[in-house]
Amino acid sequence: MESRVVRPFPAPQSSETVSTPSLGLTHRMRRNRKAEWSRRMVRESVLTTDDLIWPIFLMDSQQARSPVEWMPGVDRLNIDEAVRQAAEAAALGIPAIAPFPFVDKALRDPTGSEALNANNLMCRAVRAIKAEVPQIGIICDAALDPYTSHGHDGVMEGERILNDASVAILVQQALALADAGADVIAPSDMMDGRIGAIRGALDEARHEDVQIMSYAAKYASAFYGPFRDAIGTNATLIGDKRTYQMDPANSDEAIAEVALDLEEGADMVMIKPGLPYLDVVARVKDHFRVPTFAYQVSGEYAMIMAAAGNGWLDGDKAMVESLMAFKRAGADGVLTYFAPRVAKKLKATG
């Protein structure tokens, strides 16, 4: 049997004599990544402050702020503080804010009647903000869950949510908000036909310039928990919202929902939640080519903040990367609790 000859590897040559064999590559994708200036020049998606909408939480209190336990870094604000936050948003170049109320339990009832009060917390806050910061856009949610004793977005008969009766109340809520100075009504209730009813009522009341940003594809998601804590509905919600919010398994249905809302007069549409539904954002934008927004909801925010707080990831990098994902999917803007933080970061980096 022939013995096997083992030859040692040749000794490394000095750097002056080493030659690297060519791989014969014509296309080297790394060329465009070699320097920051080059990466910037070929970047496909860009995140700016124009893409940000800042959701804030309101409370009726002499106390300026109250922490939202499940959302580190987020506070409920009284009206005076909300005005100051709106001024900060304007100074940072954030185009719009989206206020949500924490309503005293004593004011909640089965029909959400406090939503129609022209002097309720939301209406007073909108008037105060518009008086002091007229250049900021105010996007007002139209839904009854902060105002109902059962925590649902509509009125109930037994365990059933009544669609048409709820829409009639939502129309009056939208008119109260428009009268107070809201720039955009954002119906988030997912009742059928509410966009057309609200659009008709706004036009009849000579609020034809008030825009509608429809929560057109709002899913029955597990990611809303911290938000419900912030507005005080975790303790009041009876059952769940699966009979009117969308099934997370469905994507084609989102296209049908968006089509109906656009036909009824929506100016802009929104997908909620955000990151778990980027495929829906992309489909809606590609299909309709209309202003399309996404809501990076409280659960998404809380997950990033919790992981960053434990040192498991870089919070700033994860924040920016998550928002860039919305832009890459085709979103024209994002409602995000990171808005002031990312605006400051963008401003600092020029």
Place of tokens 């927004």: 293
Number of helical (H) and strand (E) elements in the chain, helices listed first: 11, 12
Task: Report, as residue numbers or ranges, the catalytic residues.
Answer: 218, 272
Cα–Cα distance for residue pair 114/110, rounded to 1 Å: 10
Cα–Cα distance for residue pair 244/30, rounded to 1 Å: 48
- Extract the tokens encoding 305: 């903040």
Cα–Cα distance for residue pair 188/198, rounded to 1 Å: 12
What sign for the dihedral angle of Cα 146, 148, 153, 154? negative
- Extract the tokens encoding 221: 């998601």
Cα–Cα distance for residue pair 126/186, rounded to 1 Å: 14
- Give how far Cα 183 sits from Cα of 135, 196, 204, 248, 258, Å: 11, 18, 16, 30, 21
